[in-house]
Amino acid sequence: MKKSDIAIIGISCRFPGANDIEEFWDVVSKGKNNFTGIPKERQEQFDFSLLRNPRGAFLGNPFHFDNTWFKIGTEEAISMDPQQRIMLELAVEAKESACIKDIKDKNIGVFIGANQRAYAENLTTSLYKRQVTDRVRQLESIRKISRDIKEELFAELEKIDQSIPLNSSSITGNISNMIACRISHEFNLTGPSLTTDTACSSSLIAVHLACESLSGKECNMAFAGGVNLNLTPSIFLMMEAAQVISSSGKCIPFSNNSDGILLGEGAGLVLLKRLEDAIKDGDPIWSVIKGSGMNNDGHSLGIMTPSWKGQLSLLQSVYSRFDYDPGKISMIEAHGTSTPIGDSIEITVLQRFFSNHKNQLSIGSVKSNIGHLLGASGIAGLIKAILSIKKMKFPPSIVGTSVNPKWNLENLDLRFRILLKIGKMDKFVQLG
């Protein structure tokens, strides 16, 4: 045991097809594909007809929230971004999974990764719609049309006009930092509290910052995770314009047929504690984080294109800093976006870094089950990895008809495998 070891003592999640960790394990262990069309209730609220490929992985009811349990008034709750509501619920569930009765008034940090503000967009768009419909009603030409047509028109305007009025809680309900600070406020937690946006790495950077805060003794425990909801067409349209959405409607990382991402929704949260303190306090220990780090690629082929040099440099620095032997790694939960360039760079980096690896190294990506969760994608992969250790099994990855042959994963020097069915662990494993 090292001073830098961080214990994961509690977990909670909401992912497509899974309202808790056991349901999530069922999804990944059985290789389920939870992609569907746009939910009907969202199509009723927004026009998704401009999407070329309207598919993704969605939460069943992201708006459900028992505000009375948290003693939050109805008006304030309606103004709250559902991402805030979900993370409040997950904080309670993570605490319960850690067998902790009460977290109030404690030096606990909160670190959340998130980069969507779709609910705020919904509120302001509704306000603009109201202004437009009010102007239409006042037009001189409207008074000249027949009564029947006018009634039909006003009925349609009434549908458009179903807006949520702005109030004094709208700002606190929708600015990003409140996703974390709402938890701190609700339970009077006095440790650091922040929401971070580093694009796809947001939730893993949140975990890293939480580990650093614990190691520096800024807090005694820390919630860390991420959340992502794709409530409006905007993110789909922008991703389509960037030409990263799968044209085939499939998300199959590392496949010979990979052609892009599919967007997903969800949230995950872990409760962290210094390992020595967790052992001393008799806490349940789901897994241990041996080390973490972060860097930036700098200049690459494009601002959205990863750099193999940047990724390789980070692996080298983290394993060196924590004096950790890469040969102990048995499984990699990869980013695995299902984009040809992203997957290719990631495999290249792993082949270079683990070039002297003598054991079989399993690679997977949870995106094949629930899509790309953007700011919450990292925490989904981390929770999958934690459950894999707990269950002593390697979940399969969905790769379509075949793994891309150009990577030569079966060479004798580096025995990678991308599992097509669940595999069994015969001993305690360590994940990278």
Give kind and range of the element (H or E) at residue 227: strand 221-228
- Please say if the pLDDT value at position 302 is more than 90: no
- Cβ–Cβ < 8 Å for 87, 65: no
Which has more pLDDT, 18 or 49?
A: 18
Question: How does pLDDT run across 225-239, given as a tens digit for each residue?
Answer: 999 999 999 999 999
- What is the Cα–Cα distance from 425 to 411, expressed in whole angstroms? 22
pTM assigned to the model: 0.89
Average confidence score pLDDT of the chain:
88
- Please say if the pLDDT value at position 311 is more than 90: yes
SS3 65: coil
Which has more pLDDT, 397 or 259?
A: 259
Q: What is the mean pLDDT of residues 30-35?
A: 92
Question: How does pLDDT run across 413-432, given as a tens digit for each residue?
Answer: 344 455 555 555 554 445 55
- Please say if the pLDDT value at position 183 is more than 90: yes
Map tokens 């406020």 to a residue.
185
Strand order from edge to edge, sheet including 6-14: 193-196, 108-113, 221-228, 266-274, 6-14, 287-289
Reported as a pLDDT band with limits 50, 70 and 90, residue 135 is: low
Give kind and range of the element (H or E) at residue 345: helix 340-353
Q: What is the mean pLDDT of residues 198-214?
A: 97
